[in-house]
Chains A and B, each alone.
Chain A
Amino acid sequence: MSAAAALNAAWLRLQAWAEQRLPALTRLRAKEPLPIRLDRRRIYVVPTWFGLVFASMLLIMSVGALNYYNNPALLLTAVLGSVSVLSMLIAFRTLDGVSLERVQAGSCHAGDPLPLELGFAASPRRRNGLRVEIGDVEAVLAALPGEPLRATLALPTQRRGPLAVPRICLWTRWPYGLFRAWSWLNPQIEALVYPRAETEAVPLPQSGREAQRSVVQPLGEDFGALREYRARDPLRSIAWKASARHDRLLVREPENLIGEDYVLDFDALPALDLEARIARLTRWVLMAEERRARYTLLLPGQRFGPDIGSAHRQRCLRALALL
């Protein structure tokens, strides 16, 4: 076991060395602009271990067939060998012409998986067993002719802040597992991991320096308080009756639900260390959003709000992530 681990470590070291020394081979150095289209200059094909074992078996078979002067046996061996060679071309074709057009990172809090969506252009070729690998995460894709291809990978995250997404490896062993064709893609990916929210729900601060009371407006079917549905609006905010009447989805503006304003002040939490403060503030931001209350986030040298809504929340979480 430890031998295997040592071997693995050595392999990783060798890989790291190769990546430093042979950028032409691994194409790692520079970030590439999208779209990235794979062609023969950046697709590599190498036999797998199984391919080598199978080739040795074919060698044994051909020696046996030659020794017995058995032509049908030789023909069988030749057909199997020829199919193997053909499978190398098929593996190459699986990757050739694949074009990565779009990479979109979702959002998540540290510790949760970050959804990363990859969009590939449609191509006239049918492809099977196309694998996308980022770090330890892998997805297997099949493409139909003329249909765009999408893959969503869930990247594990640990820390807040910008996530260094590892290079993407596109590879395949299709069809017989005898050859591995691969190509490295290194697109510019913007991915930000929000801070982890404190697990314990500390109540929101009741009286900040700028605490205000605002009038609670009655909940009504008032048309003016409704707006068009936008993606990522929570389902529960949809005004179903009004939507039915107007034949499109309408969302009740959260302003209608405001109870009081909160001030979430970084400097008001001196007892905690930096990460704990950030975790608590994150939690408060989420809680305030949940209560649909306006809130202001005060960070050293920065001030957000008072405001509410997903844009405001994103701004706040972003600032916290980058703190």
Chain B
Amino acid sequence: MRLDRRQFDLAALTVLCGVLLHATHFPLWLSVAMTGAIAARWLQRRRRPDWGKPPALLRLPLTLALPIIVWLQYGNIFGLDPGSVFAVGMLVLKLGETETPRDARAIATFASFVLMTALLFEQDILTTIYVGLGVIPLLLLLRALEPDGRDPAQPAARALLREARSVLLNLLAAVPLAVLVFLFLPRLTAPLWATQSVPQGKTGIGDSMSPGNMSDLFLDDQPAFRVSFVALAPPPAAQRYWRGVVLWRYDGRTWSRAGGGPLDPGRQELRALGPEVVYEITQEPSRQRWLFALDLPTMDAVGYSRDEDFTLAAARPIDKPLRYALRSAPRYALGGLDVQQRRRALRLPEGFNPRTVALGREWAQQYGDPQRVVQAALDLIRENFRYTLSPPPLGRHAMDDFLFETRAGYCEYFASAFAVLMRAAGIPTRVVIGYQGGYWNETGEYMVVRQSDAHAWNEVWFDDRGWVRVDPTAAVSPDRIEIGSAANAAFNRWYGSEWLLALRNHWDIANRLWTQIVVQFDELSQRGLLRSVGIEQADWRELGIAFALGMGVLAALGLWWAVRRAHDDADRVDRAYARLCNRLGRYGFARAPSEGPADYLRRLLQQRPQAREALEPLFARYLQLRYARNDVADAAAREFARAVRRADLGALHGS
């Protein structure tokens, strides 16, 4: 048996969905090539169905080429990325030789796997919705493979619509069981095989900084993390510095992290100068190890390390949403700088940026007081520099070029130049990268910090005040700090409008809920499932019982639905008439068992002539439905039932 056109079209559509869902992380040419292959095969099947499947001479080289392509692209055939190319490629090749229902079923089976693997790359709400949509052609294909016995002459579009409706209803009806299984399926305590983190995709702030490497982030509107504040209202805009990584080492171009030791609590010289802020951060996957905290965290995030420079880090790159609670002091005094740290905070590479270094030394001699040196630098920047997201390129002596030639850049440039100047002047300085700003979502009462809020600033050591945050960017572009990244994002003006902003807020709330409820659901959340019935921490036995109970209820519902016999429409008429008699009985006019409808009506009208208007049409319709016709149209029966329900029988009250 060969597939007919409709069946083959659906098979091709199913495969196409698989390719499109993976296109975001495939190389572009590969997605185009696969789509092209599907289109070619589809055209051939439509125009020249008599050719059958392409000859083995064509299929075999393609099949052999697939692993080679994967190897050339990734240098490996194992792992998530190569594996997904392999799987999708196989699916496309299978479409090439698909001619029978058996082939089409193989496609449907394998396509479900391919759909699932798309979720291993992104698990946000949008991807999940797309994958859900991809299930529809798959189920339609399976339906099309079963002969349905209907008239084949009906229009294809209408048949497709009707089938799609059935599939959607099926999916809807499947939700309760799916949710139950999802909630109660035991989660693994340790993975069965090692899972690599996803190598590609969007990354957040890294562990180094060189001029230009943040510019991608500024264009990225994705949320980096969301913050809900427990005790206090959100801090004012000027205090929204989200500390990420502290960079010490400079090689003339790149700032990077030098291995400082973990924080020694005994030597910690942090004093909060005001009330502390208690909050919880839900961080999106960043493929980096760094956690973020409001400057400056006074406690550890449980389970994560805190370095001596207050950099918080996870043991492994964060490849799924992460949630942690923190406490911070927006106003603080931070002391403690040992000899080694001082040396690291002053080191400059030899043979780079001679003019900058010279200027720094000159200032040191001229002003002496570090405070005044800092002020001089900020004044210089404020008066002569321009803030831009597309600065001119810099040469080997990058900071020289920036300070004396181009004089235009963004936070990275300012932080880097400022640090070089200060170190040259003998003032210990380090660079901090993280985020600055945050958008307060009124509706959801939380703050969202986007990748475009990425920022770099400095910390300067004063012997009398300790480490002090200095943000040279604020000197040149105060708006950047006060308003947030939107101030420098002219291309983002479109969402200035109110309702778009509201839409954005709601969408962000949906994303957040999705992350909190679905993506982050784990064994711990599972144990809390029975909290509403008073079990704080359910063990596996209680969970098992609850699961069995839920399954029992659903099974009973399903079986009741399967076994119950629908009343046919004649019954509906009788039931409606019985209800009418019942209602009349309540006024004292119960129908005698031997009384037919016509006699009954006559008796009613003799005693209550004023009810003629209400009763006559009802009885006429009943007689019509019951005795005039053999078959009762569904709609007519419903209409009668409705009329009985709505009939106003007030006229039957005694006169």
Q: A residues bordering B, Cβ < 8 Å?
A: 40, 50, 53-54, 57-58, 60-83, 85-87, 89-90, 92-93, 96-97, 123-125, 128-131, 139-142, 145-146, 173-178
Q: Cα distance A128–B110 when bound, in Å? A: 26
Q: What secondary structure prevails in chain A residues at the interface with B?
A: helix
Q: Is the CB of A67 within 8 A of B116?
A: no
Residue B535 CB within 8 A of the other chain: no
Residue B48 CB within 8 A of the other chain: no
Q: Is the CB of A146 within 8 A of B631?
A: yes
Q: Contacts A75-B518, A140-B148; is A86 near B105 (CB within 8 Å)?
A: no
Q: In the complex, what residues of B have CB within 8 A of residue A131's CB?
A: 147, 149
Q: Cα distance A87–B115 when bound, in Å? A: 21
Residue B139 CB within 8 A of the other chain: yes
| Least distance between B196 CB and chain A CB atoms (Å) | 10
Q: In the complex, what residues of A have CB within 8 A of residue B181's CB?
A: 78, 81-82
Q: Encode contact with A along B537-561: 1 for CB under 8 Å, 0 otherwise.
A: 0000000000000000000001101
Neighbour of B150 across the interface among A82, A142, A176, CB < 8 A = A142
Neighbour of B119 across the interface among A62, A76, A79, A174, CB < 8 A = A76
Q: Is the CB of A69 within 8 A of B522?
A: yes
Q: Contacts A53-B109, A71-B123, A96-B563; is A76 near B135 (CB within 8 Å)?
A: yes
Please list 29 pairs of residues, one from A and one from B, whose beta carbons are closer than 8 Å in the complex, sorted by A's number: A50-B105, A57-B109, A57-B112, A61-B116, A62-B185, A64-B117, A65-B119, A66-B187, A67-B191, A68-B191, A71-B182, A75-B128, A75-B182, A76-B128, A76-B131, A78-B179, A79-B171, A79-B175, A80-B135, A81-B181, A82-B176, A89-B559, A139-B149, A145-B634, A146-B568, A174-B146, A175-B142, A175-B166, A178-B142
Q: Is the CB of B139 within 8 A of A89?
A: no
Q: Is the CB of B123 within 8 A of A73?
A: yes
**Please, which residue of chain A has its CB at the minimum distance from the CB of B118?**
A73
Q: Is the CB of B105 within 8 A of A177?
A: yes
Q: Is the CB of A85 within 8 A of B177?
A: yes
Q: Is the CB of A79 within 8 A of B174?
A: yes
Q: In the complex, what residues of B have CB within 8 A of residue A90's CB?
A: 170
| Least distance between A133 CB and chain B CB atoms (Å) | 13
| Least distance between A25 CB and chain B CB atoms (Å) | 20
Known: A54-B112, A75-B518, A176-B139; 6 extra A-B contacts, CB below 8 A, are A57-B110, A63-B192, A65-B116, A70-B123, A124-B566, A124-B569
Q: Is the CB of B182 within 8 A of A78?
A: yes
Taking each of A58, A66, A72, A87, which has the highest tally of chain B beta carbons within 10 Å of its own beta carbon? A72
Q: Is the CB of B146 within 8 A of A177?
A: yes
Residue B231 CB within 8 A of the other chain: no
Ranked nearest first, the 7 interchain pairs of A and B with the lowest CB-CB distance are A82-B174, A142-B149, A140-B149, A78-B178, A82-B177, A124-B568, A82-B178
Q: In the complex, what residues of A have CB within 8 A of residue B175's CB?
A: 79, 82
Q: Cα distance A57–B171 when bound, in Å? A: 19
**Please, which residue of chain B has its CB at the minimum distance from the CB of A83?**
B174
Q: Contacts A68-B120, A69-B320; is A76 near B191 (CB within 8 Å)?
A: no
| Least distance between A176 CB and chain B CB atoms (Å) | 4
Q: Cα distance A154–B343 when bound, in Å? A: 98
Q: Is the CB of A175 within 8 A of B170?
A: yes
Q: Is the CB of B565 within 8 A of A97?
A: yes
Q: In the complex, what residues of A have CB within 8 A of residue B123's CB?
A: 70-73
Residue B51 CB within 8 A of the other chain: no
Q: Is the CB of B113 within 8 A of A57?
A: yes
Q: Is the CB of A86 within 8 A of B173?
A: yes
Q: Contacts A70-B120, A86-B173, A177-B142; is A129 near B631 (CB within 8 Å)?
A: no
Q: Is the CB of A76 within 8 A of B518?
A: no
Neighbour of A72 across the interface among B131, B142, B177, B191, CB < 8 A = B131
Residue B200 CB within 8 A of the other chain: no
Q: Is the CB of A146 within 8 A of B566?
A: no
Q: Is the CB of B120 within 8 A of A175?
A: no
| Least distance between B406 CB and chain A CB atoms (Å) | 46
| Least distance between A2 CB and chain B CB atoms (Å) | 21
| Least distance between B148 CB and chain A CB atoms (Å) | 4
Q: For residues 587 through 637 of chain B, which have their beta carbon under 8 Å from a beta carbon of chain A?
A: 631, 634
Q: Cα distance A76–B112 when bound, in Å? A: 9
| Least distance between B252 CB and chain A CB atoms (Å) | 41
Q: Is the CB of A175 within 8 A of B519?
A: no
Q: Cα distance A130–B116 when bound, in Å? A: 33
Q: In the complex, what residues of B have CB within 8 A of residue A92's CB?
A: 562
Q: Cα distance A191–B398 when bound, in Å? A: 100
Q: Is the CB of B148 within 8 A of A129?
A: yes
| Least distance between B421 CB and chain A CB atoms (Å) | 47
Q: Is the CB of A177 within 8 A of B518?
A: no
Q: In the complex, what residues of A have CB within 8 A of residue B320's CB?
A: 69
